[in-house]
Amino acid sequence: MKKVTVITPMFKGGLYIDGFMKDIIDQSAFDECEWYLLDACSPENEYYIIKPYLSRYNNIKYERLDSDPGLYACWNYMIKNSKSEYVTNANLDDRLFPKCIERHIETLDENQDYDLAYCENAVTHTVNDSYKNYERMEQIPIYPTGYFDRTALLNHCYPSTHPLWRRSLHDRFGFFDEKYRSVSDHEFWLRCIAEGAKDFIFIREILGIYYFNPVGVSTNPDNANWKHKEETEVRDKYRDKIH
């Protein structure tokens, strides 16, 4: 059994898939990972980029669905059909620094009093950016996060884009709520904290690159109205449960 399951749902990822595959393969902890690629009936033939990797690496699992059930349904499916101590998600349009997963594993291994680890991320507006572009930069735009605060979690999703969490959270608190299109991860983290999970730990290092995708589910301005309604519903649900 591998240490970490890396879950990646795929839909219309043709623009990103080539660089993304190389990015995850280059992770220093890749040998400790099972990488689960779930093709949600994407029309862009990502499989033809993925196929050569499947014969070279026995820790990559690829599966194609007959239809797209939605992002969080894909997450739940992969989590339920895998085994590992830890779980992390990897988004097609984001990028990781080479030691990203390794540092998250080390942090939770060394800090048993925490259930989830998350880091700082650079923000980019460049498609398929690389960590190499940030190695000599003195000032890097950072995705807003910080040290964990239970109460502030109501209004700020600290774990951001690619946290690493203990699989046992799902044994204790269930899975991601599939009715939401954008905020099910935030809802799940709030549910875990409200129902007795340990705190989350912040790694104060830039270990990833968040692509501010103009057509992304959470960043497309056309989605602002329904996204705001989801966020408000989740905050109201847990407002009196987080202390």
Here the CATH number for the domain that contains residue 217 is 3.90.550.10
Residue 70 counted as domain residue: yes
Residue 149 counted as domain residue: yes
- Could you give the percent of the chain with pLDDT greater than 90? 88
Strand partners, 39: 10, 64
- Tokens 């705190």 identify what position? 199
- Could you give the percent of the chain with pLDDT greater than 70? 100
pLDDT of residue 195: 97
Residue 243 counted as domain residue: no
**Residue 223 pLDDT greater than 90, yes or no:** no
Choice among 5-9, 81-85, 88-92, 217-221 with the minimum mean pLDDT = 217-221
133, 135, 138, 139: CA torsion to nearest 10: 50
**Residue 72 pLDDT greater than 90, yes or no:** yes
pLDDT of residue 227: 86
If you average pLDDT over residues 36-58, what whole number do you get? 97
Residue 110 counted as domain residue: yes
**Residue 216 pLDDT greater than 80, yes or no:** no
pLDDT of residue 49: 97
**Residue 160 pLDDT greater than 90, yes or no:** no
**Residue 229 pLDDT greater than 80, yes or no:** yes
pLDDT of residue 243: 78
**Residue 64 pLDDT greater than 80, yes or no:** yes
pLDDT of residue 236: 93
Residue 180 counted as domain residue: yes
Question: Tell me: the pLDDT tens digits for 117-157?
Answer: 999 999 999 999 999 999 888 789 889 899 999 999 999 99
Residue among 50, 13, 18 nearest 35 (CA): 50
CA distances in angstroms from 32 to 85, 92, 138, listed in the order given: 11, 20, 32
Question: Rounded to the nearest 10 degrees, what angle do helices 71-80 and 184-194 cross at?
Answer: 50
- Per the structure, the count of domains in the chain is 1
**Residue 189 pLDDT greater than 90, yes or no:** yes
Q: What is the mean pLDDT of the chain?
A: 95
Choice among 24-28, 59-63, 166-170, 211-215 with the minimum mean pLDDT = 211-215
If you average pLDDT over residues 185-191, what whole number do you get? 98
pLDDT of residue 111: 98
Residue 103 counted as domain residue: yes
pLDDT of residue 215: 80
The token pair at 165 is 């969490």
Residue numbers of the domain that contains 164:
4-238
- Tokens 């949600």 identify what position? 40
196 CB burial (10 A radius; 0-12, 13-18, 19+): exposed
